[in-house]
């Protein structure tokens, strides 16, 4: 029971990046289909990344993972630029399949790191990835819905809030690698 509680709290902490980012993206008023797509992809990645990480173990820990925060910050910066552009100048929809896939991948890289730690500790448990998946899907959907409500009720202020929130998330990845 204690391990389940630990996995639950790890899952919540892993989901906070997805929640914050989805709150920001929600201020762009994504359609319900886009919300479900992103939530499902984030949950799927939070399921498979720890499993892959535990298989990888110690091999890539020092080669790739140390740069994951910078890669994430770069990708989120591109998304922020797209969010800031006026609607007339946008040539892509923020939450198309490719963008959703990239967002889900970037917010799930920390799950890969947790999986590597599980692999190093010889931890083989399917419960953790299942909890990570459920929690991250839930928090992503809630973030998108709250962001959409903010945009509906406060329009310009919500967009500014969303942009500032995205900028803070990017700074987090750059300052705390």
Return the structure tokens found at 12.
Answer: 């919540």
From the number of C-beta atoms within 10 Å of its C-beta (0-12, 13-18, 19+), residue 63 rates as exposed
Alpha-carbon separation of residue 56 from 39, 43, 105, 111 (angstroms)? 26, 20, 17, 13
More confident residue, 73 or 101: 101
Mean pLDDT of the 128-141 span: 94
Flag whether pLDDT at 110 surpasses 90: no
| Cβ-based neighbours of 97, under 8 Å, separated by 6 or more | 37
Contact predicate 27/160, CB 8 Å: no
- Note the pLDDT tens digit of each residue in 113-129: 778 777 765 666 788 89
Alpha carbon distances (Å) from 29 to 11, 64, 146: 26, 34, 10
Please give the pLDDT value at position 86: 61
DSSP designation for 94: T
Query: Which pLDDT score is estimated for 132?
Result: 92
Structure tokens at 103: 């967002």
| Domain ranges for the chain | 32-175
Question: For the stretch 72-88, what's the b/e string if a residue is b when 16 or more beta carbons lie within 10 angstroms of its beta carbon?
Answer: bbebbeebbebbeeeee
Of 150 and 47, the one with more pLDDT = 47
Cα 125 to its chain centre, rounded Å, is 22
Predicted confidence (pLDDT) at residue 96 exceeds the cutoff of 50:
yes
Mean pLDDT, residues 34-61 taken together? 83
20 vs 40, higher pLDDT? 40
Question: Where is pLDDT greater, at 164 or 119?
Answer: 164
pLDDT in tens, 66-78: 566 676 677 667 6
Instruction: Considering only residues 117 and 171, tell me which one the structure prediction assigns the higher pLDDT.
Output: 171
CA 128 vs CA 13, 26, 81, 159, 177: distances in Å = 13, 27, 35, 35, 24
- Give me the pLDDT at residue 130, please: 93
pLDDT at 61 over 60: no
């Amino acid at each position: 029971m204690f391990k389940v509680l630990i996995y639950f709290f790890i899952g919540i902490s892993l989901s906070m990046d997805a929640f914050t980012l989805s709150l920001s993206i929600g201020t762009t008023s994504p359609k319900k289909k886009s919300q479900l797509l992103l939530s499902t992809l984030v949950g799927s990645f939070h399921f498979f990344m720890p499993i892959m990480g535990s298989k990888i173990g110690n091999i890539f820990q020092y080669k790739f993972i140390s740069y994951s925060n910078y890669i994430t910050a770069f990708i989120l910066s591109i998304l922020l630029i797209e969010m800031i552009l006026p609607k007339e100048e946008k040539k892509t929809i923020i939450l198309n399949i490719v963008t959703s896939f990239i967002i889900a991948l970037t917010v799930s890289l920390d799950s890969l790191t947790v999986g590597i730690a599980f692999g190093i500790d010889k931890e083989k448990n399917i419960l953790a990835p299942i909890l990570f998946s459920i929690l991250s899907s839930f928090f992503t959907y809630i973030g998108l819905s709250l962001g959409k409500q903010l945009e509906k009720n406060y329009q310009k202020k919500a967009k500014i809030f969303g942009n500032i929130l995205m900028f803070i998330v990017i700074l987090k990845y750059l300052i705390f690698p």
